Each structure stands twice: as C-alpha cells, then as structure tokens.
Amino acid sequence: MLTFSTVRFMYLGWIKEHYISPIFHFKYYGFGWVEVAPDWLIYLIHCLMIVAALGVMLGFLYRISAVLLFILFTYTELLDLTYYLNHYYFVSLFCAYLIVVPANKKLSLDAYFGLTKPTDFVPRWSVLLFKMQLAIVYFYAGVAKINTAWLLEALPLKIWLPAHDTMPLIGKIFTWKITPYFFSWCGMLYDCFVPFLLYWRKTRLWAYLTVIFFHSITGFLFQIGVFPLVMIGATLIFFSDEFHQKIIDLFPKKENTTIHFPIKSFFTNKILIAFLSLNMLFQILFPWRYLLYDGNLFWTEEGYRFSWRVMLMEKAGTATFYVKDSKTGTEGAVDNSEFLNLHQEKQMAMQPDMILQFAHYLADYYKQKGVHEPQVRAEVYVTLNGKPSQLLIKPDVDLSKIQDSFAQKDWILHYD
C-alpha cells in the first residue's frame, strides 16, 4: 500500500503542492524543528520511501528497510499539520512496529540469500501487537461516535449523504430521511464490535466480510485515499496461522514453509515486550486526554487528534487576521492567500492551534517588514455540523503574545 500510495502521490504532483510551493508550513506541537528539505531532497526522500517499502515487502535488507521506511514516512507527515489524517498516524505506528517484528524470518529475500537464519516459528507477541493496535483503532472510533450529534441528529451524515443522490442505482436512497440515521448507528456498532468479532474464530469470516463491505462503501462515498484498502489488508492479521498457511501453500516452494505462532515464545525478549506494553498502555490512555479540557471537543479540538476520531463532524470557517503597528496604531487586514494554499487556509480557519501558529508567523513576517512590535488579532467565524457560524476565538486578543501549550486555551470562546 505504501509503495502504491507513494507512487500515486508523486504522480499527482502532490510533492510540489504540499511541500514545495507553500511559503509557510504548520508544525505539530513539539516538532517545530522539523523543516522541509530542499526540493531535490524531498523528491529523493519519496523515491527512497518506495525503495524502503519494497524492501519491507520483499524482506530484503529488512531491518534497514523498515527503519528507513518509518523515518521517511513519519518525516513527510510531520512537515505540515494541515495534512494530518488518522490513517497517516496509523501507518506511521505500523511502520514502527515492523521494525521490531521478525517479518523476514521466512519467505523473504533475506532468508533466501542467507542474510538471516530462517525459522518456522513466529513469536506470538509480534502478531498480537498488530491485532491490539487495530482493535484500538476500531473500538475508539466507535466510542467516539457515541454522542448526541452522531446518533440522535445523524450529523454530519445528514449533510454529506444527500450530495450523492445522483449515484446510479442507489442514489435515491441517500435522500431518504432514515438513511443517515441508519448509517450512523451501523457505523457506531460496526466500529465498537468488529474487533471482538474478528478475534472470535466463529464470527471471524463474517466480520471480515463486513470489513470489506464497510470500507468499500466509505471509500466509494468519501475521499479518504487508500485507507479502506489498508484496513481491508491489515485486518487479515486476525486470521489464524492455518489460514495463512493455506495461502502460502498456493505458491511453489523448495522447502518446508510451515508457520507457527507459539504462545510459549511470548516472553522471549522481556525488554522489548515491556517497551511495547508501555506503548499499548499509551495508545489506550492518550485518546482520553480530551477529558482534561472543558468545552465542546469538536469546537476547541483540544485532545482531538491522535485519538481515532474519524469523520465525526462537518466544520468550516473563515479567518480574517489584522496586524497592528504598536507605535502608530495603524491596522490592516491580511490576505491569507499570500502565504497559504487553499487546503492550508481551509484547515487553519477552524483549528485554534493553527490560527495561533499563523498569527505568530504574521507577527514575525511584518516585523521584518518594518512594522513596530506588530499585534495580531483574528476574527474567526466557524460553523459546526451545519449550525449558524459563530466566533471561535476572542477577536480582541493579541495572538502574537500567546504561546501554545497543552494547557487549556482560554482565548477560545464557548460554543453555544
């Protein structure tokens, strides 16, 4: 999937659009030091990412390929916060896990060329690691859907689905009043229960068929890239070793290629297991950090990212920034398009931390242009789930004097 998606990314010209053309890039909190490499190096990085992905897929120089793939993919995702997606975070985690699992111990070029000692045994933890992460992704996505807007108001599906009324054969269904409610409840129930149904052998096949159906439908209706294919492929990890053995037996082989997932090897490497256990504990607890903040989560978005909240809201905003010369009192409005592309401007205009970042950039920019101690404020109007727009932040606050942190953002206005 990474090989395909990276080639597709380059073919569509997104390297230039995402990384090279923009004047300003929004940073992840704590990763402000990550800078965009020179143009030629950005293209080289993506070419190396393809090579590394192929190396992992074929099991050639596997450990080096896996480390390289994780570093390069994660680096590209850290370049601009406006392109954050849950499934990019998901892929980055999986790339990290691929570094530590013995995926090249059988049926790999490393084993074929004698670069690693082949084995018929795979430690159970290396399989459980992926199962647990997938279960967390699904279950937390389902729990996040248990809210009034999603279940009782069918939002935002009530807004999105009617837009597909021209689809052949099934388009009319999306105009029915009951359809968004049906989809909302089915989506919640699917996410909450599918990991457990995949774990249980008796329901596994039927659960996997729903995985194919669910992700095919969402991929067909919404622009979410290769994520449906990634999930359809990744959830095969829930199937037994006997199932995978049947697939392997379809291919010609020169030697015994039996695979086993023995429970007895679970504690083979205690340090590694301890580290991975701490990571899983983090994955379980971190999505709940939003409880530490007051206010509507969808409005403030404090604790929203990295929590497997997928397509839960329809949100849009307009942001007008004003820069004021502290000495003369002269104030003027900023044309955001001078600094941001359309995607960046759209994402920034509804997310407080990005608004703050852009305000700091404007303060630095106009200070270099001769403005004396520039003050930067913003009038930001946001609409959430089709409701009337309202001010997101205090319009009279000098944003250039505020530093971002994990603390509550008291300059965000209450959502009515």
Q: For residue 256, what are its two tokens?
A: 């015994």
| pTM tops 0.75 | yes
Are 229 and 1 within 8 A, CB to CB?
yes
Letter for the amino acid at 140? Answer: Y
Three-state secondary structure of the chain: CHHHHHHHHHHCCHHHHHHHCCCCCCCCCCCCCCCCCCHHHHHHHHHHHHHHHHHHHHCCCHHHHHHHHHHHHHHHHHCCHHHCCHHHHHHHHHHHHHHHCCCCCCCCHHHHCCCCCCCCECCHHHHHHHHHHHHHHHHHHHHHCCCHHHHCCCCCHHHHHHHHCCCCCCHHHHHCCHHHHHHHHHHHHHHHHHHHHHHCHHHHHHHHHHHHHHHHHHHHHCCCCCHHHHHHHHHHHHCCHHHHHHHHCCCCCCCCCCCECCHHHCCCCHHHHHHHHHHHHHHHHHHHHHHHCCCCHHHHCCCCCCCCCCCCCCEEEEEEEEEECCCCCCEEECCHHHCCCHHHHHHHCCCHHHHHHHHHHHHHHHHHCCCCCCEEEEEEEEEECCCCCEECECCCCCHHHCCCCCCCCCCECCCC
Q: 20: closest CA among 36, 4, 3, 44?
A: 36
- Going by C-alpha positions, the residue among 67, 33, 38, 35 that lies closest to residue 51 is 67
Judge contact between 312 and 141, C-beta under 8 A. no
Structure tokens at 167: 């689809």
* pLDDT, tens digit only, all 416 positions of the chain: 899 999 999 999 999 999 999 999 999 999 999 999 999 999 999 999 999 999 999 999 999 999 999 999 999 999 999 999 999 999 999 999 999 999 998 889 999 999 998 887 888 889 999 999 999 999 999 999 999 999 999 999 999 999 998 888 888 999 999 999 999 999 999 999 999 999 999 999 999 999 999 999 998 888 887 889 889 999 999 999 889 888 888 877 655 566 665 544 444 577 888 889 999 999 999 999 999 999 999 999 999 999 999 899 999 999 999 999 999 999 999 999 999 999 999 999 999 999 999 999 999 999 999 999 999 999 999 999 999 999 999 999 999 999 999 999 999 999 98
CA-atom Rg of the chain in angstroms: 24
